[in-house]
Chains A and B, each alone.
Chain A
Amino acid sequence: MKTIKLIIVLLLSTHFIACNSDDDAPGPEITPVVSKRIENLHAPQTGGQGQPVGGEFTKFDFTTGEITTSNIDWDIAFRGTTIAVNGGVVTGTTDEPARNGAAAAVILTNTFSEVKEAPETSLFTQDADGAFAIPTGSGNGWYNYNFQTNIVSPIAGKILVFKTRNNQYVKVEILSYYKDAPASPDGTVHESRYYTFNYVYNPNEGDKNLE
């Protein structure tokens, strides 16, 4: 957490410039999208390797762009390779946070930059009894697990699009599961359960634009 770096790039769309121009007729206020990289978000877990998995999830709030300990003001949460959303109901795993928002998720197959807007609402799912909106397991959701090397690698071309608890849209590309995002992680050298990801967050409620 000590190294969360803020690299806010304000993408000044022509539309945005037009809205702020004094000469224009007053229209709805559009806040620019936020592009940010989160580095080394630590998502520890207990158990695993045949033992029951447990431990608190690390919760993240797109409104502040920070991790949070709030039990209400969070959008997504991480524990090991599992990602929960603040929407739906508890899945039944131990130590998971209660869902009290309307967050949802969908996985798209595309490059990050080519996801220009969120897909239709019907494609989003929420956490449910026995199933996370972002499916767990190698090859099912956002990562592959290699049994020979014990390496978890984010699947290229998997873009996670979330609807936040406040009905805003955000796209996320997970870049690494290892501390300091090494290009070729080595399970015996690099510490795992440290997420590095890029996201583009649109603070305007219901606005699907993601560029």
Chain B
Amino acid sequence: MRRVFWVLLALKSTLYSQNIEHVKNTDSIVHQNLEEVIISATRTQRQLSSIPLPVILIPKNQIQKSGTIRLNEILNEQTGIITVADESGFEGIQMQGISSDYIMILIDGVPLVGRSAGNLDLSRLTVGNIKQIEVIKGPSSSLFGSEAMGGVINIITDTPKSETLNGSASFRIASFNTQDSNLTIAQRKNKFSYNFFANRLFSDGYDLREETPGQTVDPFENYTFQGKIWYEINNTLSLFASGRYYFQDQDLSLFFNNNTFEGTSDLDEWNVQVRLEHDLASSLKLQYELYYTNYKASELLANPLDNEVFSQSDFDQHLFRPEIRANYNFSPKKALTLGTGWNNERLNRTFFDEEIKFNSQYVFTQYDFYPLSKVNIILGARFDNHSEYQSQFSPKISIKYDITKNLSFKTSTGYGFKAPDFRQLYFDFTNSAVGYTVLGYNVAVDKLNELIDLDQIIDVVVDINALNTPLKPESSIGFNFGVTYTNDNFLLEANYFRNEIENLIDTRVIARKTNGQNVFSYTNFNNIFTTGLEINTQYKLTKNIKLLAGYQLLYAKDKDVLDRLENGEFFARDSESLETFRLEKSDYFGLLNRSRHTANLKIFYEIPQWDSSINVRINYRSKYGLINNTEGGNDILDIYDPFVNGYALTNLAINKTFKKNYKLQLGVNNMFDYTDIQNISNLAGRQIYGKMEIQF
């Protein structure tokens, strides 16, 4: 069986598929997990259960049975992962208390670009062609570089399985006239395989405040197309190519100062990936990969009466990345990975003077071995050289120890970083309505001098010379320690995590303007930590009933705030007497948008005699703060501030298969119609849906 644990990078490996066949007929949780192969954790194929890191694998059948259509929905149902909207309404993922800015999102191993204020909107991604979703928690910069500071989410899309032409078509209709259509065609013929996928999502949007003009979410329509081919050139060479195109059109309307403005918001995204796999020997495999992606967003709002433009913004980001990887197996249990690559990034957008280019080169290595038969160690490191900021060295060590067949420990610690992004370095933005200015760090001095020449500045409140030292990358050291216990019917995973993050980049006032407003720029200042416990359990109650439950306890705090609390520097106002009192350390709740408790409970019930299944999923997050209530007199989140109430959402789905190839799905999301109009605009009420799928 040990051989099953060690399957290395062979997409077309027959050995691998034999192993899967071998375990498929057993019916326990352990063996189910054995089937599952994960590739993001080590960039080689590894059995999920052998990975010395905290990982989540979401298989296709869970995605399908849950009736979700976009990536954010299914991720939101996983332990310790929530999608949150920041105070500007931009939605992103949060994992181990670390926000979206620091989590890398990959499709088939290559990164997505196009973030709004750091958040990557995961509703951009359909789940219709996803084979599995792999989530690696904790710093992963040793393999993936910048942005992988808090973890990595890799979306693996479908591969063709059958020699005959096959595919599926589905149509789903839901509340708010939300229509989701999917078409898949795939075939695997001799040396050539291909896969084509198309998705259309249309929705009328919804309105939580009917008394005000305009909608909460305006109507939108988007399309995703993906085509992939595989070709075995000869015994040692094979080619993989993939192209993906996504576009969305949305009608916008905005009611502001008694005027209604109308316009459109358009998104366009391209990804092209070409990979050549070269098996020099059975123990030495090379991969040459080229990747190009372009993300464009443009938004225009104008007054329909006189066509006067209210706001316009354009965003055009490119990433080109060649990479070469080599995997060498000294022996079945000793593998070395080497890789090198080059990131060429360009961004042109409104509020930038010109197109900005970033260049970085990197090398990474990983050594995966078993010093003892029950101990697996993975050592990894990566070096990034960048045109704009200081070079980064990101090491990581992961260890797994199998004490018995059922019990194992795993621990890992690693360094992660996130480079200052384009916006933090080159932004030049003045809010036309209010009049404040935000300047990127690298342009701050020049722009400030321009404002001084225009007599718009009263005084500069920082030492301008200090702005000449480069902004430092944000960095973290992450530690995880986990225990896994498993037997035929039961699986328990507990993981303690702590992420210490330094040099967090945030805005501060650098000058005061004559209009009474401030000039902001970015600087390194906060040191924060996120720490807590994740617990995941699976229990096979009967042959047909499976329970899954998860819980995360989270503390996410700013260390500088804790120090200042120690010094008694924070105050709050008594709501009755309005008098000031000094805050204690225990009055500090922590960072915004972090819930102390998140939990989920899922029940999957199979009814084989009716070809049916039913599942209920409940997701809970406890109260959290959304804004620092400066009315309370301080800019930290204390227990006297207003909080967004905790809430639970219940989703239900019923699946039925007819005549083997016809699938019907009925379901309801947010069954008890929970909304919080004041605080959570992305939480629509109850949504009912029905879906029909035909396989051919």
- Whether B516 pairs with A157 at a CB distance below 8 angstroms is no
A residues less than 8 Å from B572 (CB atoms) = 156
> B578 at the A/B interface (Cβ < 8 Å)?
yes
Using CB atoms, name the residue of chain A closest to B576.
A183
> B31 at the A/B interface (Cβ < 8 Å)?
no
Using CB atoms, name the residue of chain A closest to B581.
A111
- Whether B571 pairs with A157 at a CB distance below 8 angstroms is yes
- Whether A157 pairs with B580 at a CB distance below 8 angstroms is yes
> Measured between alpha carbons, how far is A146 from B631 in the docked complex, in Å?
8
Using CB atoms, name the residue of chain B closest to A144.
B630
Q: Kindly identify which residue among A149, A151, A185, A198 contacts B579, using a CB–CB cutoff of 8 Å.
A: A198
- Whether B634 pairs with A157 at a CB distance below 8 angstroms is yes
> Measured between alpha carbons, how far is A183 from B633 in the docked complex, in Å?
13
Which interface residue of B434, B571, B572 has the most chain A CB atoms within 10 A? B571
> B678 at the A/B interface (Cβ < 8 Å)?
no
Using CB atoms, name the residue of chain B closest to A136.
B516
- Whether B434 pairs with A183 at a CB distance below 8 angstroms is no
Question: Given A137-B516, A151-B631, does the pair A157, B582 have CB atoms closer than 8 Å?
Answer: yes
> Measured between alpha carbons, how far is A144 from B631 in the docked complex, in Å?
7
Residues 115-158 of A at the B interface (beta carbon under 8 Å): 137-138, 144, 146-147, 149, 151, 153-158
A residues less than 8 Å from B633 (CB atoms) = 144, 153-157
Using CB atoms, name the residue of chain B closest to A159.
B580
Using CB atoms, name the residue of chain B closest to A109.
B569
Residues 555-579 of B at the A interface (beta carbon under 8 Å): 569-573, 575-576, 578-579
- Whether A137 pairs with B512 at a CB distance below 8 angstroms is yes
- Whether B578 pairs with A157 at a CB distance below 8 angstroms is no
Which interface residue of A138, A157, A159 has the most chain B CB atoms within 10 A? A157
A residues less than 8 Å from B512 (CB atoms) = 137
Q: How far is the CB of A39 from chain B (nearest CB, A)?
A: 11
A residues less than 8 Å from B569 (CB atoms) = 109
> Measured between alpha carbons, how far is A109 from B582 in the docked complex, in Å?
10
A residues less than 8 Å from B631 (CB atoms) = 144, 146, 149, 151, 153, 184-185
> B532 at the A/B interface (Cβ < 8 Å)?
no
A residues less than 8 Å from B420 (CB atoms) = none
> Measured between alpha carbons, how far is A114 from B582 in the docked complex, in Å?
10
Using CB atoms, name the residue of chain A closest to B631.
A153
Query: What class of interface size applies to chain A in its complex with B?
Result: 20 to 34
- Whether B578 pairs with A111 at a CB distance below 8 angstroms is no
Q: Kindly identify which residue among B570, B578, B580 contacts A181, using a CB–CB cutoff of 8 Å.
A: B578
> B80 at the A/B interface (Cβ < 8 Å)?
no
Using CB atoms, name the residue of chain A closest to B642.
A184
A residues less than 8 Å from B576 (CB atoms) = 183
Residues 485-519 of B at the A interface (beta carbon under 8 Å): 512, 516
> B590 at the A/B interface (Cβ < 8 Å)?
no
> Measured between alpha carbons, how far is A176 from B582 in the docked complex, in Å?
18
B residues less than 8 Å from A183 (CB atoms) = 575-576, 578
> A196 at the A/B interface (Cβ < 8 Å)?
yes
- Whether B582 pairs with A112 at a CB distance below 8 angstroms is no
> Measured between alpha carbons, how far is A153 from B633 in the docked complex, in Å?
7
- Whether B570 pairs with A157 at a CB distance below 8 angstroms is yes
> Measured between alpha carbons, how far is A185 from B631 in the docked complex, in Å?
9
- Whether B516 pairs with A156 at a CB distance below 8 angstroms is no
B residues less than 8 Å from A157 (CB atoms) = 570-571, 580, 582, 633-634
- Whether B434 pairs with A156 at a CB distance below 8 angstroms is no
> B632 at the A/B interface (Cβ < 8 Å)?
yes
A residues less than 8 Å from B575 (CB atoms) = 183-184
B residues less than 8 Å from A155 (CB atoms) = 633
> A200 at the A/B interface (Cβ < 8 Å)?
no
> Measured between alpha carbons, how far is A184 from B633 in the docked complex, in Å?
12
> Measured between alpha carbons, how far is A147 from B518 in the docked complex, in Å?
13
Using CB atoms, name the residue of chain A closest to B434.
A147
> A175 at the A/B interface (Cβ < 8 Å)?
yes
> Measured between alpha carbons, how far is A176 from B573 in the docked complex, in Å?
11
A residues less than 8 Å from B570 (CB atoms) = 157
> A211 at the A/B interface (Cβ < 8 Å)?
no
Q: How far is the CB of B254 from chain A (nearest CB, A)?
A: 16
> A75 at the A/B interface (Cβ < 8 Å)?
no
- Whether A112 pairs with B580 at a CB distance below 8 angstroms is yes
- Whether B580 pairs with A173 at a CB distance below 8 angstroms is yes
Residues 96-112 of A at the B interface (beta carbon under 8 Å): 109, 111-112
> Measured between alpha carbons, how far is A147 from B435 in the docked complex, in Å?
11
B residues less than 8 Å from A146 (CB atoms) = 630-631
Q: Which residues of B contact A (CB under 8 A)?
A: 434, 512, 516, 569-573, 575-576, 578-582, 630-634
Known: A111-B582, A137-B512, A157-B633. 4 other contacts (CB 8 A): A144-B631, A151-B631, A154-B573, A185-B631
User: Which 6 A-B pairs have CB atoms at the shortest separation, nearest pair first?
Assistant: A156-B633, A157-B571, A156-B571, A175-B578, A153-B631, A156-B580
